[in-house]
Structure formats: structure tokens, C-alpha cells
Amino acid sequence: MNRKIIKSTPFGSVGIIWTVLNDSPRIVRVLLSKPGLSAEHQASQAYPNSQASSCTEIDAIVAAIKGILEGDDIEIPLDVAGLDSCSAFQQSVLRAEHRIPRGSVSTYRLIATHLGKQNGARAVGNALANNPFPLIVPCHRAIRSDRHLGGYQGGFEMKRALLEKEGIRFDASERVVCAQFHYQRIMSNIVFIATSLDGYIADKDGGLDWLQSIPNPENLDMGWVDLIDRIDAVVMGRKTFEKVCSFDCDWPYSKPVFVLSNSMKSIPEGYEGKAEPIKGSLSEVIEAIHQKGYKHLYIDGGSTVQGLLKEDLIDEMIITVIPILLGGGIPLFGELTKPMEFEHVKMEVFLNAIVQNHYRRKK
């Protein structure tokens, strides 16, 4: 095992522990100085038998690390790092983190979601806290969802300073100022639905007549036209689709409609070209629809909404409350594996009776 100590940097010494694998140098650890604990001391404790040594390739990495610490726009290829010492999950986290470009940040939660681990923010944080290759894998670019920095091997001040050198700004509360996080979905899944005062979307018989309990002589659309303008497609379950087909009115959708069903082989006669069946798990179906180019989706139907909420795949909810108590029926919401926070965007009142609230998921 070999060691190379970089002594003169704005953040104290940096240690590189390296070996040779298949005739090529491979980084084993990058050690950052911490308050009261230099990289030299960490190297002597963790690798007491390592030998002071370098080579052309290691010298190039030393120069790159010096440049990064001075604020230069440099990226070190990940193939110099010995990822084989990490678990499969940590490797996936480190690769995702390495793809966050200079001048951008992401959150532990968004990285977890990107990796398909909906509840994995803490696991991602632990993987980065034990990142063997800081600066090669720029784990200073991962922060908390509340925009505070979170931990860093080199300490809070070093993490902030590195981000500032990359153009990241902070507000008076020490939070990152960021228009959009890396890995933040540029797509949106939107619920637009009406409920009774007691939270039902249909009565005990599945009826919807109560939706017309407030006279609407001017036929206010209550945001429907704006919603249709925003979205690219509609996603609904089979029961909702069949209910819509039973309405005595023209087909209400001007955008493509996808019907979630693992048993429906074809669309009923008379509705060909208006809707398309699609099967699979909810997350697979949503991803497949997004891959078709439909980025903003209107999610309709109680079971579909509940399923996507469990998967944390709902980005916005526009809920219109009709002032009536049904006393039972089909509820909008079901059980969740954990609480979910939404921010209130706006509230509107229609016909002096109907209240519409717009919520956005806190990420």
C-alpha cells in the first residue's frame, strides 16, 4: 500500500492511499484533514505500513485535487478509484454522485429516488458519509432536502467553501439557493379531483350525482381547461375509465388517455383511438409513459392516486371540495407507509361554496 500526502492546500493536507492493480495505480482512499485531525495522522493510523510513494498517474491526480480545492473546473475520472471495496449499493450512490456536475447540487432524497430507493435518503447519506473518495466523487454536492448542507468528512466550512467556489450561493439562514436540484424530475404527475367534505370521491353506490349539488349556471370549468393545457396525457384505472365511458356526454379528454389494467386486452368498441391500455407496476407504467414523451400527467381515479402516493410519485394535488357530507363511499386517500408533506400553493373559491386547494409535494 502506498501513500501520497498533499501538504499545501487551502483546507490543510490531503492524503491519497493507493495501490497497483493490473499494472495501473488505483486509489484506495482519499483522506481529508478535519479540525484537529490531519490527513497525515489519519494515514498513519489507518495505514501504518503504507509507503510514501508516487508515480506519473498519481501526480496527475494530485494536481487535479489541488485544482479542485483552488476552485478550478476539474473532474477526475471515476475509473481511478477502487470501487470494488464498496458494496453494490454504495457503488451505485457514488456513481450517481459523480454524475452531478460542477455548479449543481442534489439532495440525499433525490439521489435515493433516482436509484429507485423511495425511502432511501438516510442510506444514501450514510453511503456518502463513508465515501472513500471525496473530491474524486464530489459528495459535497449532496445536501439535505431542507437545503441545509448536512455532514461532510472535511467539515461544514470546507463543504460550504467548495460549493461557493463552484458558484453555489447561500441565503442568510445558511441554506443553498438553488432553482433546481440535479435529479429533480422535470416531469410532474398531477391529481385533479373533487371530494366531499368528508373526503370521498364517490358515494356508497359509486355515484357522482352529488358533484352537481351546487348550481353552476355559468358552467365554470374551475381550472379544468388550464389543467388540460398543462398536461400531456391522462392516466386512470380501469374502473375510472369504465365510469367515464358510462357518462352521457362527449369524450371529455383532448389528450391521450392511458388505462391501467393488467387484464384489458383492447379498448371497448367506440373508444378506439381515444384511450390505450397499459399494464405493469405503477412505477413501471409511469416511467414507460414518460419515456413515450408524455412528461406531465393527469392522474385520475382513487386507487390509482392511492397507489402512486404510496410510491411517492405524485407531485401536485388540486383538490376541489364540494360542501356535502356523504357519510361513506370511496375515499380519496388510503394508508401510507410514512407521512408525506405538501406545501400549499393557492386556494380558490367558486360559486361562493366550492373550495379548491392546490398542493405541491415537498421534495
Write down the pLDDT at residue 233: 93
- Position with higher pLDDT, 278 vs 114: 278
Q: What is the pLDDT of residue 291?
A: 83
The whole-angstrom separation of Cα 27 and Cα 131 is 12
pTM: 0.56
Percent of the chain with pLDDT over 90: 72
- pLDDT given for residue 186 in this prediction: 66
CB 11 within 8 A of CB 154: yes
What is the structure's pLDDT at 22? 85
Residue 89: phi and psi, rounded to 5, are -65, -45
Digit-coded pLDDT (tens) for 32-74: 999 889 999 999 999 999 999 999 999 999 999 999 999 999 9
Task: Report how far residue 256's alpha carbon sits from residue 258's, in angstroms, rounded to the nearest whole number.
Answer: 7
For residue 180, pLDDT over 90 is answered with no
pLDDT at residue 127 above 90? yes
Residues 6+ apart with CB under 8 A from 299: 189, 190, 191, 235, 236, 305, 308, 314
Domains of the chain in start order, with CATH, are 2-177 (1.10.10.10), 188-361 (3.40.430.10)
Q: Residue 114's pLDDT band (boundaries 50, 70, 90)?
A: confident
- pLDDT of residue 211 exceeding 70, the answer is yes
Who wins on pLDDT, 218 or 114? 218
* 3-state secondary structure string across the chain: CEEEEECCCECECEEEEEEEECCEEEEEEEEECECCECHHHHHHHHCCCCEECCCHHHHHHHHHHHHHHHCCCCCCCHHHECHHHCCHHHHHHHHHHHCCCCCCCEEHHHHHHHCCCCCCHHHHHHHHHCCCCECCECHHHEECCCCCCCCCCCCHHHHHHHHHHCCCEECCCCCEECCCCCCCCCCEEEEEEEEECCCEEECCCCCCHHHHCCCCCCCCCCCHHHHHHHCCEEEEEHHHHHHHHHCCCCCCCCCCEEEECCCCCCCCCCCECCEEEECCCHHHHHHHHHHCCCCEEEEECHHHHHHHHHCCCCCEEEEEEECCCCCCCEECCCCCCCCCCEEEEEEEEECCCEEEEEEEECC
Given this model, what pLDDT does residue 35 score? 85
**What is the per-residue pLDDT across 213-250, written as a single tens digit (0 to 9) for each?**
999 998 999 989 888 888 889 999 999 999 999 888 88
The catalytic residue positions are 139
pLDDT given at position 363: 67
pLDDT band, very low/low/confident/very high, at 194 (cuts 50, 70, 90): very high
Per-residue confidence (pLDDT) for residue 8, from 0 to 100: 84
Higher pLDDT, 35 or 25: 25
Question: Whole-number mean pLDDT of the chain?
Answer: 92
Residue 329: what pLDDT?
95
The pLDDT of residue 93 is: 94
Q: Is the pLDDT of residue 16 over 90?
A: yes
359 pLDDT higher than 80? yes
Could you tell me what percent of the chain has a pLDDT over 70?
Answer: 99
User: For residue 229, what pLDDT is reported?
Assistant: 84
Q: Let me know: does 314 contact 191? Beta carbons within 8 Å.
A: yes
* pLDDT confidence bin for 179, thresholds 50/70/90: confident
Query: Residue 262 pLDDT more than 70?
Result: yes
- Per-residue confidence band for 310, with pLDDT thresholds at 50, 70 and 90: very high
